[in-house]
Structure 1
Amino acid sequence: MAWIMLTALLLVTGCTTQPVTGRPRAEAFNATDTAWIQLTIPMHERALLLTELAPSRTHNPALADLAARTGQQLREETVALRGLLTLSRIPDTRPHEGHNMPGMVSLDTLNKARTTTGKEFDQLLTGSLRTHFTHTRDLCTSEQTSGAAPEARALATEIGKSATGELERLDRLRATPRPTAQASHAR
């Protein structure tokens, strides 16, 4: 939750007049910072669209809970990323609009998810989230290594930790045997 505090700090410091020491904030953002922010926002937005389908598509309560928690995390991180976009004065040109980038839930996947239920949807959801969080973690590592703005690097650290946690939750969910209908009726 440190990134929530970072977001609050960004909003407070971005809205007040601060003495400038060194480079002004907007100039502190390099090309890596810009690329990371502009790519991570649409990746999160697409993953969020997929998690929002889970309540009506999955029959697995544990997966529905994971999707709800993941969706909330994606929303909060997107707000923080948009705060960085504002702080950096990077225009919201959406350069990746309509693209199907590695790690981004594709439009075809979203369309398929809207027409599937049960185990088929569950596999689509978990596979897509696994890919999303793996690429998100890798992008965050790159930002931490090559980014210049301390605010962006700090948020990348938090989002990278979050992505690792989501991957661990997906692994635990996969390892947990799902009760069969027959076992449920035996109780």
Structure 2
Amino acid sequence: MALLVVGCTPQPTTSTSSRTGAPPTTAFSPTDVAWIQLMIPMAERAQRLTDLAPSRTASPAVAALAAKAGARLHQDQKHLRELLKLSGVPDTRPHEGHNMPGMVSLTTIEEAGTVTGKAFDQLLTDALRAHLAQSTVLCAGEQAQGHSGKAKELAATIAKNTTAQISRLDDVRPAQPAVPDGTAVAKS
């Protein structure tokens, strides 16, 4: 998984005193920190896209979906930043400017600012679906390979929410264009 390769240098951990002999209450592994540091910019970019919806969408259903997704992304960022602070790792923004699978690209955000109506709806729903699908993959990786109970718990919550959002998104996503033989392209 990309999560295991990106930013996996030794990171500080938070634990109870070794003098008491108590087990660590919260310890963050490099995987936990890499997951947090990747999920923050992914959520930020997706939220930048959803923030454009009120003035650009043609669909009340897409506008409502974008508002709910944006609010969820805002909450996720808040919780991710709290975890990063708890980990003791500074917010160095190691993924600033990167384009990775599922991360809404700066080009997509720029393009979204120039289109309206159905073109915007298609761009938003395609990019948001890719973001949600990749977030699900990354959260599964954190749950399987992470160490911090708090990080794994947040990953489970985000994964549950993204699954629900994908279902709602697929219900409002614009129909895919037909291929030359007249059949519609299946939604991915």
TM bin, normalised by shorter chain, reads 0.7 to 0.9
Q: Distance in 1 between matches of 2:117 and 2:75?
A: 28
In the alignment, structure 1 residue 22 sits paired with structure 2 residue 23? yes
Match of 2:93 in 1: 94
Greater fraction helix:
1
Q: Distance in 1 between matches of 2:112 and 2:54?
A: 12
The CA deviation string for residues 139-165 of structure 1, in whole angstroms up to 9 with x for no partner, is 000000000000000000000001111
Q: Distance in 1 between matches of 2:110 and 2:165?
A: 23
Match of 1:183 in 2: none
TM value normalised by structure 1 = 0.81
Match of 2:136 in 1: 137
Match of 1:76 in 2: 75
Aligned-pair identity (%): 54
Count the aligned residue pairs. 158
Q: Distance in 1 between matches of 2:86 and 2:79?
A: 10
Amino acid at match of 1:79: K
The structure 1 segments of at least 4 consecutive aligned residues displaced by more than 2 Å after TM superposition are none
Shift of 1:21: 2.1
Q: Distance in 1 between matches of 2:152 and 2:49?
A: 27
5 Å matches for 1:3-22? 21-22=22-23
Structure 1: state its 5+ residue gaps: 1-13, 177-187
Q: Distance in 2 between matches of 1:76 and 1:113?
A: 23
Match of 1:5 in 2: none
- Bigger relative contact order, structure 1 or 2 (CA pairs below 8 A, ≥6 apart): 1
TM-align CA RMSD: 1.9
Match of 1:42 in 2: 41
The CA deviation string for residues 3-29 of structure 1, in whole angstroms up to 9 with x for no partner, is xxxxxxxxxxx9xxxx8822363xx11
Whether contact under 8 Å (2:142, 2:152) holds in the other structure is: yes
5 Å matches for 1:172-183? 172-174=171-173
